[in-house]
Chain A
Amino acid sequence: MSPVVELEDVRKSFGSLEVLKGVSFSVERGQVAALIGQSGSGKSTALRCMDRLETIQGGRLTVCGHALHEPGVKLSDLRRDVGIVFQGYNLFPHLTVAQNVMLAPRLVRKMSKAQAKDRAEQVLARVGLAEKLGAYPEQLSGGQQQRVAIARGLAMEPKLMLFDEVTSALDPQLTGEVLRVIEQLASEGMTMVLVTHEMEFARRVADRIVYMHLGKVHESGGPEILTRPATPELARFLEAA
């Protein structure tokens, strides 16, 4: 079976700055891949390319069977298959928690209100926030908001979930509750790609570590590379982290 995510020599520049200089790796179904590296190494850009928030300029990128390097990608199909959670939660502040979660199932999957409500209750229960249906985002803590954002993604039943530094804006106490949700998803077999600075978490949850350095995959492998890095750059990075 072909990988859920496959990058081959992917290139991306912003103006004259080349951010991805030929990135290749793949993620199999049911795997959890952690992208790590210094800021500016291109890991967030690589993740954003997977949801076509950035377009690539060279190489091949296939996500859930959609060839993003080819013209005429059906973005609506891609986004049905892929959920993404951002560092800044990006909940819709004018909608309640339930409305945030129900919006896409209603509009995109054309569910009835009752169906969408059921779905919202179900995914919010999965992230431990079943009692917050009627609350507005600003009434929730950062960790709760991020869990709602995860639930919002899950409500579309994606085949792949992307996480872009989802705990970087949270203080340590709140980080744990978000990471537990992600860990639970991993144990349920969800295919996930996470950009993260939480090395301990990556070691525990990820099947595959991709260390990016200067726009390339510098070293990759199983979680054991975090304990026994092969390259001096990764060793230095881990020491600093």
Chain B
Amino acid sequence: MNPVFVLSLFDGLLNTVILSLLTYLFGGLVGLAVALGRISPSKPVRLVASTYIQIIQGIPLLVLMGFGFFGPSILGFGNVSALAAATIAMSIYSSAYLGEIWRGCLQAVAKPQWEAAECLGLSRVQRMTRIIIPQAVRIAIPPTVGFMVQIIKNTSVASLVVGYGELTYNAKIINNATFQPFVYFGLAGILYFLVCYPLSELSRMMERRLNVASR
């Protein structure tokens, strides 16, 4: 094992984490808008949101990466960096899933809660921000953390299209030089595991705690 290569793997891991964090941020923001759109009182808004989800969920992430990379220049925005392209693709991808997960959580806050707030004269925005979202957040934490693990692993798809130097990409480059796939892909796998496992555990732990709380 060459220490330079191992360092390169850690460098890749850092880039994986950066891409994941950017995806949480932008995917989360768009996902929230999608979730709220799915339960909007306006039918056209609902339709737009559900069509968006269906289209995005129907496209492989790899193809989205292609759009993220080539799309901006085709549309005349010029070339984008590998990180920007990967962030665009990952954010679009995760927003469709997070939107649907969160829609479910919002709707899981029982309808009677919504009615009770309505009958007290609270406006729609007040009902949402004071009653529904605070309760939905509790329900949403375990599946959201679970999906965050998916996001970390799926950032590896960026290695195939956009040439962003994340963990899998660096492992691939090292393998091209060393022809030791078992060692370096194995190490990459361990690094993914070390990041993902604590998150998975956290998700399971919160699920257990939540089940106790919600009688």
Contact = CB atoms under 8 A, between A and B. Distances in A.
B156 interface: no
A104 B120 CA distance: 6
A199 B207 CA distance: 45
Residue picked from A79, A86, A92, A152, most chain B C-beta under 10 Å: A92
Interface in B82-129: 112-113, 115-123, 126
B130 A103 contact: yes
B121 A80 contact: yes
Nearest to A99: B130
Contact of A104 (B115, B121, B134, B138): B121
A84 B130 CA distance: 19
Residue picked from B116, B123, B126, B215, most chain A C-beta under 10 Å: B116
Contacts, number: 51
Contacts of A92: 113, 116-117, 131, 135
A82 B117 CA distance: 13
Given A94-B134, A94-B135, A79 B121 contact: yes
A90 B112 contact: yes
A84 B123 CA distance: 17
Nearest to B126: A107
Interface residues on A, range: 20 to 34
A90 B115 contact: yes
A128 interface: no
B133 to A, nearest CB: 10
Given A93-B135, A94-B134, A138-B215, A103 B120 contact: yes
A9 B204 CA distance: 55
B112 A84 contact: no
Contacts of B116: 86, 90-92
B60 to A, nearest CB: 39
A82 B126 CA distance: 19
